[in-house]
């Protein structure tokens, strides 16, 4: 499930990141919800920050739409951009095959390929015809595309087409691309969730998936790229960006988590071999479980270093110090973003990581392989399973007006770990995903040069058209983001 309010993978009530779903019955998920956080200090030392969690009273610090050059946006623009733009790789292949037939008949192209002709690429002359409003003329670009004539303008009848285009890779075409744009300015001068001042940040979110019968790891991975355009007039310092993740591996009361700094990864795994409350395979409130086959769920920063991994707890499950619980005030959100606890207490090595007694500062909670008896993991620390929320962050540092940053993330499900405390081939699989990214996805089964491989791919998109939320069902992972 795709959402354009900064959050991912839920429908405001239920989890939607569901591996290997079976139709007609409740299916367990690996992630309940996730969200994009960012914050920093202006030259006067004022904290500016945006985040989203569970949409209490429908609230998020973000609204849909691109910002003007001066960092502003009006309600009409927010409403116009409350939508998603999606395209299939198979349609791009068919469009390019048909392109010679459209040279003198653009209306036929509009009718046959609306997702390509209406793509919000910079300068698209057909955009307003299909979408009912004009593209903005603002710096920073819009949806990514392959630019056949290298003129910087999207014109599909000149051979341009939608593509994933990252800062570190040439354009490529997966099986499915979904794009939206949101900002932290449209909800007013004080954010409703964090009560912080806005940064005047535009975020362009590209989500994609592959269908690779010979590569089950890619089949079990969803990719996101958050492209950040900073449009305030003054620099920002001590800026951190993060992904907040509420992992729920089926039953939410028996999850462990950890991190692998070398792979820029954090992950969740089941505390024992059975997914369920206590020693059984059923869960409180009838939540579907994975029974005796709970997977591992990993989150990997591909384009940036994972600088910090912290966590906080659901205070309704267990008894915890206040400093370990959910943030409420702006500085508490920023404390977590910058790698400390809610109350500013440093994360320290050992135990819970909160006033652990070691005095050894730590950048990452539980950074050891859970199978290592001598490392610091939740397994070796003997911590009770509970309902934990993770925050993996990257330090941008100084952010100049007009600066563009990008956070590319892989969300991968790893079946059949060696529980308890063994992750099976999880780390090798993450290394494989990273190798594909480092190679620009050049060897993946479904770039445009091999798009025939995906013509029969089981892709479903609903509802269509959509606004506010969007579901992509692709291969083994239906995802609402």
What mean pLDDT do residues 297-307 have?
98
Burial (CB < 10 A; 0-12, 13-18, 19+), residue 240, is buried
Residue 463 falls within a domain, yes or no?
no
What mean pLDDT do residues 358-369 have?
96
Structure tokens belonging to residue 53? 């969690």
- Give 189-239 pLDDT, tens digit per residue: 888 899 999 999 999 999 999 988 889 999 999 999 999 999 999 999 999
Residue 8 falls within a domain, yes or no?
no
Q: Is the pLDDT of residue 405 over 70?
A: yes
What is the predicted pLDDT for the residue at 284?
81
- Give 338-354 pLDDT, tens digit per residue: 999 999 999 999 999 99
What mean pLDDT do residues 384-393 have?
90
- Give 439-481 pLDDT, tens digit per residue: 999 878 754 554 333 333 333 443 444 455 445 444 444 444 4
For residue 198, give the DSSP letter: P
What is the predicted pLDDT for the residue at 450?
42
- Split into its structural domains, the chain has a count of 1
- Residue 9 or 397, more confident: 397
Burial (CB < 10 A; 0-12, 13-18, 19+), residue 389, is buried
What is the predicted pLDDT for the residue at 56?
66
What mean pLDDT do residues 379-385 have?
89
Residue 18 falls within a domain, yes or no?
no
Q: What are phi and psi of 158, to 5 degrees?
A: -100, 15
Kindly state the percentage of the chain with pLDDT values over 90.
70
What is the predicted pLDDT for the residue at 448?
58
- Give 74-123 pLDDT, tens digit per residue: 999 999 999 999 999 999 999 999 999 998 899 999 999 999 999 999 99
Answer for the pair 325, 342: CB distance below 8 angstroms, yes or no: yes
Look over the chain and give the mean of its residue pLDDT values, rounded to a whole number: 89
Structure tokens belonging to residue 304? 């940036």
For residue 133, give the DSSP letter: S
What mean pLDDT do residues 359-380 have?
96
Strands (E) across 56-131 are located at 63-64, 85-88
Query: What is the rounded CA–CA span in Å between residue 148 and residue 161?
Result: 8
Residue 480 falls within a domain, yes or no?
no
Range of the domain at 146: 34-453
What is the predicted pLDDT for the residue at 137?
86
Answer for the pair 1, 207: CB distance below 8 angstroms, yes or no: no
Residue 167 falls within a domain, yes or no?
yes
Ranges 68-77, 317-326, 443-452: which has the least confidence: 443-452
Answer for the pair 200, 383: CB distance below 8 angstroms, yes or no: no
> pLDDT band at 318, cuts 50/70/90?
confident
> pLDDT band at 416, cuts 50/70/90?
confident
Answer for the pair 207, 2: CB distance below 8 angstroms, yes or no: yes
Q: Is the pLDDT of residue 306 over 90?
A: yes
Q: Is the pLDDT of residue 131 over 50?
A: yes
Residue carrying structure tokens 């059975």:
274
What is the predicted pLDDT for the residue at 433?
96
Query: What is the rounded CA–CA span in Å between residue 270 and residue 296?
Result: 7
Radius of gyration of the chain (CA): 22
Answer for the pair 287, 276: CB distance below 8 angstroms, yes or no: no
Q: Is the pLDDT of residue 35 over 60?
A: yes
What is the predicted pLDDT for the residue at 451?
37
Ranges 20-24, 105-109, 158-162: which has the least confidence: 20-24
Residue 4 falls within a domain, yes or no?
no
Q: Is the pLDDT of residue 125 over 50?
A: yes
- Give 49-61 pLDDT, tens digit per residue: 999 988 766 688 8
Residue 380 falls within a domain, yes or no?
yes
Q: What are phi and psi of 203, to 5 degrees?
A: -125, 120
What is the predicted pLDDT for the residue at 233?
94
What is the predicted pLDDT for the residue at 458?
38
Q: Is the pLDDT of residue 179 over 90?
A: yes
Answer for the pair 214, 470: CB distance below 8 angstroms, yes or no: no
What is the predicted pLDDT for the residue at 36?
96
Q: Is the pLDDT of residue 68 over 80?
A: yes
Residue 346 falls within a domain, yes or no?
yes
Q: Which of 232, 89, 59, 105 is nearest to 164 (CA)?
A: 89
CB atoms within 10 A of CB 195: 13
């Amino acid at each position: 499930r795709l959402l354009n309010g900064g959050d991912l993978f839920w429908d405001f009530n239920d989890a939607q990141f569901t591996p290997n779903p079976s139709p007609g019955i409740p299916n367990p998920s690996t992630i309940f919800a996730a969200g994009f956080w960012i914050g920093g200090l202006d030259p006067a030392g004022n904290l500016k920050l945006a985040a989203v969690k569970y949409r209490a009273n429908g609230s998020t610090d973000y609204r849909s739409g691109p910002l003007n050059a001066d960092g502003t946006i009006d309600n009409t623009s927010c409403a116009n951009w409350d939508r998603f733009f999606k395209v299939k790789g198979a349609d791009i292949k068919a469009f390019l095959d048909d392109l010679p037939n459209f040279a003198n008949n653009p209306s036929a192209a509009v009718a046959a390929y609306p997702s390509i002709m209406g793509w919000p690429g910079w300068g698209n002359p057909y955009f307003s015809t299909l979408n009912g409003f004009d593209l903005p003329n603002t710096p920073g670009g819009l949806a990514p595309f392959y630019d056949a004539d290298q003129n910087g303008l999207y014109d599909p009848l000149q051979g341009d087409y939608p593509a994933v285009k990252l800062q570190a890779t040439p354009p490529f075409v997966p099986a499915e691309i979904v794009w939206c744009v949101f900002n932290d300015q449209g909800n007013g001068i004080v954010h409703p969730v964090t009560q912080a001042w806005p940064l005047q940040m535009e975020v362009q979110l590209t989500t994609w998936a592959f269908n690779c019968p010979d590569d089950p790891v890619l089949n079990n991975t969803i990719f996101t790229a958050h492209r950040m355009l900073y449009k305030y007039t003054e620099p920002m310092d001590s800026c951190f960006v993060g992904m907040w993740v509420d992992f729920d591996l089926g039953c939410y009361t028996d999850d462990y988590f950890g991190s692998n700094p070398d792979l820029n990864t954090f992950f969740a795994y089941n505390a024992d071999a059975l997914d369920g409350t206590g020693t059984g395979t059923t869960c409180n409130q009838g939540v579907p479980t994975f029974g005796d086959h709970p997977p591992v769920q990993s989150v990997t920063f591909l384009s940036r270093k994972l600088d910090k991994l912290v966590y906080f707890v659901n205070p309704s499950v267990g008894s915890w110090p206040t400093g370990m619980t959910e943030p409420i005030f702006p500085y508490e959100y920023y404390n977590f973003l910058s790698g400390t606890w809610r109350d500013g207490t440093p994360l320290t090595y050992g135990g819970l990581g909160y006033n652990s007694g070691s005095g050894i500062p730590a950048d990452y909670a539980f950074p050891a392989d859970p199978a290592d008896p001598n490392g610091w993991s939740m397994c070796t620390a003997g911590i009770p399973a509970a309902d934990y929320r993770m925050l993996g962050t990257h330090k941008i540092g100084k952010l100049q007006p007009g600066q563009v940053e990008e956070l590319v993330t892989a969300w991968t499900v790893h079946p059949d770990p060696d529980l308890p405390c063994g992750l099976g081939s999880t780390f090798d699989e993450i290394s494989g995903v990273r190798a594909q990214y480092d190679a620009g996805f050049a060897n993946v089964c479904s770039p445009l040069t091999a798009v025939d491989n995906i013509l029969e791919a089981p892709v479903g998109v609903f509802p269509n058209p959509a606004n506010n939320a969007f579901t992509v069902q692709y291969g083994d992972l239906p995802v609402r983001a």
